[in-house]
Structure 1
Amino acid sequence: MSEHAAAISTQIDDWLAVYDTADSDAAYLLVDRHDPARVAFTQIEVGADGELLTEDLTYGQLADQSRRLATALAARGIGCGDTVGVLMGKRSELVVSLLAIARLGAVYIPLFTAFATPAIEMRLTGGAAKLVITEPSQVDKVKGLEGVETLVAGPEFDALIADSEPLAESVAVGGDGMLVLLFTSGTTGNPKGVPVPVRALAGFHAYMHYGLDVSDDDVYWNAADPGWAYGLYYGILGPLAIGQRNLLLHAGFSPEVFVKVLGELGVTNLASAPTVYRSLSNNPSITGFGLRRASSAGEPLTPDVVSWAVGALGCEVRDHYGQTEHGMFINNHWHDDVRKPVIPGSMGFSMPGFTCGIERGEIAIDTAASPLMWFTGYLDAPEKTAERFTGPDRTGWYLTADAGRQEEDGRFYFTARDDDVIIMAGYRIGPFDVESVLITHPSVIDVAVVGRPDQLRGEVLEAFCVLADGVVGDDALEQELQVLVKEGFAAHAYPRAVHFVDELPKTPSGKIQRFKLRQN
């Protein structure tokens, strides 16, 4: 091993020694050990006349508020091992809630605000949640859910913090203790629960360092939604782990507001989904920025966006690759210790702490040679877990279900997904979730959902429906089915087009041949 490689290996060991111990305390690691005067997050609201309204939240404020909320949650019966859902956008109460839950040794279940009630209920039920913390705009989605109490951000939430004494001591669950329960997108069945242990913070720290090259002087902004892995891991947990500020824009995406944040807040290190970069690149007035680093995750970037970014943003945008089950582990890294020139179409190289290769035609992780790998299996799904590993007892290679290749220089290239998951605007959507809603319509007797290439979003959903005898497929029915998905699953996941067909192409065993539908 070269001296350079040895130094990187030592750094990985040092991080593991911090995050993966028998007495690892998530609250201490994420907030209590940092300078209380340092800003942890800046929440940004958009005023009535379009001005940006900002409010800083320091590590000291986070520590105090989360201690007090932890006391209040304990009084509601939340304790070590219990699960709590959090249904919020990018706002400070989300971070306070996460840390309060961690202080009790309880488990945080992130919920995406675009989800409709059935998708939320499935995750809360699957995780056996006792409580859901939400915000006023989302509360109607969780009213009346059986067995789940509700706490709403606002006066009730603020009063609990103000009236509670700080929790004296946090629960240390250890490196293997569960911190988060995050559900994947479903492909052939319900979304699977991914238990995220405290020791996963070592991998998140490594990506912040090697993948994104976040420095003390950076104004860092991960703009992804914390209801999903990239936004939660590297917009909330990663910045907290390294003591770095992130920006929380509590507003819907628009290029105008996004650019205003970049300029007025002086962002130097940006991480976001490809859709954001594509949207910005379509506006010729967006130019003249001086970013130090820009990174993209979720799906491969097209060459035109990469070349646009150099002139408009001040640096190239680098593709990074990962999964809910691991975080990021193959990147076009930014840090000087591991940075190499980008080759168009390449995903980059294995991140330090991971050893990757191609196994059975899939991008894979060598479990024995990847000290930062933390995934040990899905919640209550041993058969699905076994499908991911080539060896017994979760050994051998972990298979990503993404097809790819590796060149002699070590670079990886993504070629195709082996499953049917659809990636739209950086969000992974399982066809099963959408199909399960559409099939409930009395006019639909069979249905399949596929992804169709889209210049802005990467992919959009299209549905192919077989109708009951005598039903006529028309524009009104198409709109009715689109609304059904919005209200029954998620607002962002409705099919942009609905095709009415006589039958679906299937194998002799009855499996839908979605590849044939994509060719139509």
Structure 2
Amino acid sequence: MDPDAVARSVHRWIEEYSGPEVDAAEMLVDRHDPDATAFTIVDVEDDRLIAHPLTYGEIADRSRRLATALAARGVGPGHRVGVLMGKRAELVVSLVALARLGAVYVPLFTAFAPPAIELRLTAAGARLVITEPGQVDKLEGLDVETIVAGPEFDRLVEESDPVPSSVAVGGDGMLILLFTSGTTGAPKGVPVPVRALAAFSCYMTYGLDVVDDDVFWNAADPGWAYGLYYGIVGPMATGRPNLLLRGGFSPTMTARVFTEFGVTNFASAPTVYRALSKDPSITGFSLRRASSAGEPLTPDVVVWSRDALGVEVRDTYGQTEHGMFINNHWHDDLRRPVMPGSMGFAMPGFSTSVVDGQIAIDVRHSPLMFFTGYLDAPDKTAARFTDDGAWYLTGDTGRMDEDGRFHFTARDDDVIIMAGYRIGPVEVESVLVTHPAVMDVAVVGRADELRGEVLEAFVVLTSGVTGTPELERELQQLVKTGFAAHAYPRTVHFVDALPKTPSGKVQRFLLRR
């Protein structure tokens, strides 16, 4: 271990990304070799995997031209623009084009139904959405303009002159506005400043240990924090290419990508690893690094991976508000033996402990901490910090052993983590309760061997209505169309009443039992 080298790296990143003249587009794209590959877009065509390299030069030119087209639409510094896309080149170009204008990128998960999209666009104050053909129908009826990937997007780029210069918003300027999953109410907006690139670079380097000659593949969706921070933004900040597979997950497809592209460094959710571990054909690989994030990693996956992948999967921990900050680090300067069930040690640049039973960040001594508060939500912001403002409280309970390793215990809030996606029960409940047969409802998570957790709904019906399998299916479909296709309750229990406190708050912990 070389603590001096680590400290120098952290200090360098802070200096790079924290000044008042920092230009995000310069840091992400323009300073890199224009001929170097930034991303490899992988399409599935006629059962073949077709690679389309996307260079920094291509991103630079297309983003400059798109910035001109966006400016003509009235987009300028501080304006929020929604981006509703999967893993495609236009997503990357859009993010950088917005950065050139000093505007703010608002990611939208493609599995969201129209109400969930509208809620986030309204909260962000976005009046323009850049989307793709398969998603454009979700925006019908909303008070937004659209730009659609394909001929329209390409024409705007081709017919526009490059913007002559980029807006430097500085380290504290907002780059991204990413919404949480809405655990205890409406989703909260997390402003992500340009200086967050320092923390992302630290995790890419010390947590994942992505090096120059790696073939890196972060398989997470860019509609959520892990995929956006460490599959899009982090790779560009550090100049480490990432694979972007345009296709659904399956163990067979994952194995093909490993083999055909020679993947050496892989990052994904425990759900992906669990699915791979159930397929006996997934064996004989020799990855250099494998990392997990999104939910606690079970020890059986670690044991399986050593033989099947040629390397153990290492767990890491973080949240939307600050990115990853506790890791079983892979870098040689920080790597230590893995203890089953442990999330690992604090990442450089973060001082962490357990405060009032919760995993907490010492804001005073954590120079990589970038979260200062939720968008337009002072009360919810205050609830995340101790009264003196010294500690950020994650809401996750845990313990720290005598060696400084952190162990996850439970969540203090009611968030459900399914297949790495954080789902707030209130959003699902808000959809279910619109059904005329539903008088009251509560949603909780249930342990699931493959997905980690799945949703279960406890429904109190209106007078005279009887719970039936047909009504259960109707309620499940209501969530699919009213919130998100992945977030429907796998089981609906029809009950006479919900357990509540004297003040009327649902006691979800009793339902989880």
Into which bin does the TM-score normalised by the smaller protein fall? over 0.9
Deviation at 1:6, TM superposition (A): 3.1
Deviation at 1:302, TM superposition (A): 1.2
Q: Which residue of 2 aligns with 1:349?
A: 345
Among 20, 40, 43, which residue is 1:42 paired with? 40
**Are the aligned partners of 2:214 and 2:263 in contact in 1 as well (CA < 8 Å)?**
yes
Deviation at 1:509, TM superposition (A): 1.1
Q: Which residue of 2 aligns with 1:70?
A: 67
Among 233, 241, 244, which residue is 1:245 paired with? 241
* Secondary structure of residue in 2 paired with 1:204: helix
Q: Which residue of 1 aligns with 2:412?
A: 418
Q: Normalised by the size of structure 1, how large is the TM-score? A: 0.98
* Secondary structure of residue in 1 paired with 2:446: strand
What do residues 31-85 of structure 1 show as CA deviations (whole Å, max 9, x unaligned)? 000000100011111112x111110100000100000000000011100110000
**Are the aligned partners of 2:3 and 2:333 in contact in 1 as well (CA < 8 Å)?**
no
* Secondary structure of residue in 2 paired with 1:373: coil
Q: Which residue of 1 aligns with 2:26?
A: 28
Deviation at 1:7, TM superposition (A): 2.9
CA distance in 2, matches of 1:307, 1:424: 22
Q: Which residue of 1 aligns with 2:445?
A: 451
Deviation at 1:165, TM superposition (A): 0.5
What do residues 157-206 of structure 1 show as CA deviations (whole Å, max 9, x unaligned)? 00011111111100000000000000001122100000000000000000
CA distance in 2, matches of 1:149, 1:265: 38
* Secondary structure of residue in 2 paired with 1:12: helix
Amino acid at match of 2:333: D
CA distance in 2, matches of 1:450, 1:171: 45
Deviation at 1:94, TM superposition (A): 0.4
Q: Which residue of 1 aligns with 2:510?
A: 516
1:112-261 equivalences in 2 (<5 Å): 112-146=109-143, 148-261=144-257
CA distance in 2, matches of 1:406, 1:390: 19
Deviation at 1:8, TM superposition (A): 1.8
**Are the aligned partners of 2:40 and 2:54 in contact in 1 as well (CA < 8 Å)?**
yes
Deviation at 1:285, TM superposition (A): 1.0
Of all paired residues, the percent bearing the same amino acid is 71
Deviation at 1:10, TM superposition (A): 2.0
* Secondary structure of residue in 1 paired with 2:135: helix
Q: Which residue of 2 aligns with 1:296?
A: 292
**1:5 has 2:20 as partner:** no
**1:486 has 2:480 as partner:** yes
* Secondary structure of residue in 1 paired with 2:228: helix
* Secondary structure of residue in 2 paired with 1:150: strand
CA distance in 1, matches of 2:271, 2:112: 19
Runs of 4 or more, structure 1, over 4 Å off, are: none
Deviation at 1:303, TM superposition (A): 1.3
Amino acid at match of 1:341: P
Deviation at 1:311, TM superposition (A): 0.6
Deviation at 1:5, TM superposition (A): 2.5
Q: Which residue of 2 aligns with 1:322?
A: 318
Amino acid at match of 1:110: P
**1:461 has 2:455 as partner:** yes
Deviation at 1:356, TM superposition (A): 0.4
What do residues 230-258 of structure 1 show as CA deviations (whole Å, max 9, x unaligned)? 00000000000011110111111111111
Q: Which residue of 2 aligns with 1:338?
A: 334
CA distance in 1, matches of 2:45, 2:251: 16
Q: Which residue of 2 aligns with 1:377?
A: 373
1:244-283 equivalences in 2 (<5 Å): 244-283=240-279
* Secondary structure of residue in 1 paired with 2:243: strand
CA distance in 2, matches of 1:36, 1:5: 34
* Secondary structure of residue in 2 paired with 1:389: coil
Q: Which residue of 2 aligns with 1:436?
A: 430
Amino acid at match of 2:196: A
Q: Which residue of 2 aligns with 1:363?
A: 359
* Secondary structure of residue in 2 paired with 1:329: strand
Deviation at 1:391, TM superposition (A): 3.7
Amino acid at match of 2:176: V
**Are the aligned partners of 2:200 and 2:230 in contact in 1 as well (CA < 8 Å)?**
yes
Structure 2: tracts of 5 or more residues without a match: none
Among 89, 93, 99, which residue is 1:92 paired with? 89
Deviation at 1:507, TM superposition (A): 1.1
Amino acid at match of 2:484: A
Amino acid at match of 1:160: L
What do residues 419-476 of structure 1 show as CA deviations (whole Å, max 9, x unaligned)? 0000000000000000000000000000000000000000000000000111111011
Q: Which residue of 1 aligns with 2:491?
A: 497
CA distance in 1, matches of 2:258, 2:161: 39
What do residues 360-384 of structure 1 show as CA deviations (whole Å, max 9, x unaligned)? 0000000011000000000000000
Deviation at 1:331, TM superposition (A): 0.3
Instruction: Indicate the larger mover: 133-142 or 10-19.
Output: 10-19
* Secondary structure of residue in 2 paired with 1:301: coil
CA distance in 2, matches of 1:313, 1:299: 20
CA distance in 2, matches of 1:84, 1:515: 38
**1:106 has 2:100 as partner:** no
Amino acid at match of 2:312: E
CA distance in 2, matches of 1:300, 1:16: 29
Deviation at 1:304, TM superposition (A): 1.2
Deviation at 1:517, TM superposition (A): 1.1
Q: Which residue of 1 aligns with 2:14?
A: 16
CA distance in 2, matches of 1:44, 1:347: 31
CA distance in 2, matches of 1:365, 1:301: 22
Q: Normalised by the size of structure 2, how large is the TM-score? A: 0.99
CA distance in 1, matches of 2:477, 2:462: 19
What do residues 257-278 of structure 1 show as CA deviations (whole Å, max 9, x unaligned)? 1111111011000000111000
CA distance in 2, matches of 1:254, 1:187: 29
What do residues 448-505 of structure 1 show as CA deviations (whole Å, max 9, x unaligned)? 0000000000000000000011111101100100010000000000000001000011
CA distance in 1, matches of 2:189, 2:487: 20
CA distance in 2, matches of 1:128, 1:159: 27
Deviation at 1:116, TM superposition (A): 0.2
CA distance in 1, matches of 2:158, 2:291: 39
Amino acid at match of 1:47: E
Amino acid at match of 1:218: D
* Secondary structure of residue in 2 paired with 1:261: helix
